[in-house]
């Protein structure tokens, strides 16, 4: 059982927006602005999409945005494209100097 | 461009020690503000953070694995290492090495392609 809770799956049509939630506790998401999001295509290594809750690394599309409220972080993908179909993982710093992941969310572009 | 490449045995016998290495190319392992980490992914499952090591040898590890893991660095070879002892089938996974941005950001920005490890007799 993962420390962070994500929906197992979400879906949307091309051009639409989807939001993936990630719920933790006060020992991780709730007290630290150190949430990351990773995209993973089948058979590939994860790719960093968001760090420090809202920051995008260079090269990541601005269609990807994120936020946090209380113990829940969220990733929003706008203008869905077929290539966005992948698994998405949230990750947070946890009290005690380690990282915890969510169980992952499979995004299907219909 | 920084690249990481894992290497390991592929198959490990239960109760034995799993040893993996990660070679860093295109940059120095001694670059300030970067740590070097391990993450694993069991077949069909999610990601699990194992731990990180700084070039000085300082480490941080997942409390659930801490008693079984050893991480180290060889700066002369630009490599870092993971040892996981007393393995069981539950340790079967793809093991990734990654660069972790300094302790301020706590995120992994460059990943290796991963190496598959199967624990079986």
Q: Spell out the residues 6+ positions from residue B45 whose beta carbon is closer than 8 angstroms to its own.
A: none
Helix (H, G, I), strand (E, B) or coil at B90: helix
Output the average pLDDT for chain A: 97
Query: Which residue, chain included where needed, has tokens 């990180």?
Result: B52
Residue A101 and residue B46: Cβ atoms within 8 Å? yes
- Over range A4-20, report the average pLDDT: 97
Is residue A60 within 8 A of residue A68, CB to CB? The reply is: no
Phi, psi (degrees; rounded to nearest 5) at B103: -60, -15
- Over range B91-117, report the average pLDDT: 94
- Over range A54-66, report the average pLDDT: 97
Determine the pLDDT at residue B32. Answer: 87
Residue B7: pLDDT band with limits 50, 70, 90: very high
Lowest mean pLDDT of A62-66, A72-76, B99-103, B110-114, name the range.
B99-103
Q: Is A91 on the interface with B (CB under 8 A)?
A: yes
Per residue in B10-45, pLDDT (tens digit) is 999 999 999 999 999 999 999 988 999 999 999 999
- Over range A71-75, report the average pLDDT: 98
Query: Which residue, chain included where needed, has tokens 């920005």?
Result: B109
Lowest mean pLDDT of A15-24, A35-44, B68-77, B103-112, name the range.
B103-112
Residues of B in contact with A42 (CB under 8 A): none
How close B100 comes to chain A (CA, Å)?
A: 11
How close A91 comes to chain B (CA, Å)?
A: 8
B1, with CB counted inside 10 A (0-12, 13-18, 19+), is exposed
Residue B112 and residue A51: Cβ atoms within 8 Å? no
Residue B60 and residue A98: Cβ atoms within 8 Å? yes
Determine the pLDDT at residue A1. Answer: 77
Structure tokens at B9: 């045995």
pLDDT at A2 over 90: no
Nearest CA to B94 among B38, B54, B35, B13?
A: B38
Determine the pLDDT at residue B104. Answer: 78
Output the average pLDDT for chain B: 96
Is residue B87 within 8 A of residue B70, CB to CB? The reply is: no
Nearest CA to A73 among A9, A31, A29?
A: A29
Mutation for B interface: A98, A102, A105, A106, most B CBs within 10 A? A98
Strands (E), chain A: 9-12, 18-23, 35-40, 47-50, 64-69, 72-77, 86-94, 98-101, 105-109
Residue A99 and residue B113: Cβ atoms within 8 Å? no
Residue B107 and residue A2: Cβ atoms within 8 Å? no
Residue B114 and residue A38: Cβ atoms within 8 Å? no
pLDDT at B98 over 80: yes
- Over range B97-103, report the average pLDDT: 90
Query: Which residue on chain B is closest to A38 by alpha carbon?
Result: B108
Determine the pLDDT at residue B102. Answer: 78
pLDDT at B105 over 90: no
Mutation for A interface: B5, B37, B107, B114, most A CBs within 10 A? B107
- Total length of chain B: 121
Tell me which residue in A34, A48, A97 faces B109 most closely, judged by beta carbons.
A48
pLDDT at B103 over 80: no
């Amino acid at each position: 059982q993962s420390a962070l809770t994500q929906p197992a799956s979400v879906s949307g049509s091309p051009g639409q927006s989807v939001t993936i939630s990630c719920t933790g506790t006060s020992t991780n998401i709730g007290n630290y602005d150190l949430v990351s999001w990773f995209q993973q295509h089948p058979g590939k290594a994860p790719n960093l999409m968001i760090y420090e809750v809202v920051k995008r690394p260079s090269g990541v599309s601005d269609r990807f945005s994120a936020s946090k409220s209380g113990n829940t972080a969220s990733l929003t993908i706008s203008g869905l494209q077929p290539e966005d179909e992948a698994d998405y993982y949230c990750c947070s710093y946890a009290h005690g100097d380690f990282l915890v992941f969510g169980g992952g969310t499979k995004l299907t572009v219909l | 461009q920084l690249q990481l490449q894992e290497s390991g045995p592929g198959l490990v016998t239960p109760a034995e020690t799993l040893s993996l290495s990660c070679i860093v190319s295109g940059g120095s392992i001694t670059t300030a503000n970067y740590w070097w980490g391990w993450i694993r992914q069991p077949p069909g499952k999610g990601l699990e953070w194992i731990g990180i090591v700084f070039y000085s040898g300082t480490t941080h590890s997942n409390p659930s694995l801490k008693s079984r893991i050893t991480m180290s660095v060889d700066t002369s070879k630009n490599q870092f290492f993971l040892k996981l002892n007393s393995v069981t089938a539950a340790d079967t996974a793809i093991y990734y090495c990654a660069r972790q941005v300094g302790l301020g950001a706590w995120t992994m920005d460059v990943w290796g392609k991963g190496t598959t490890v199967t624990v079986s007799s």
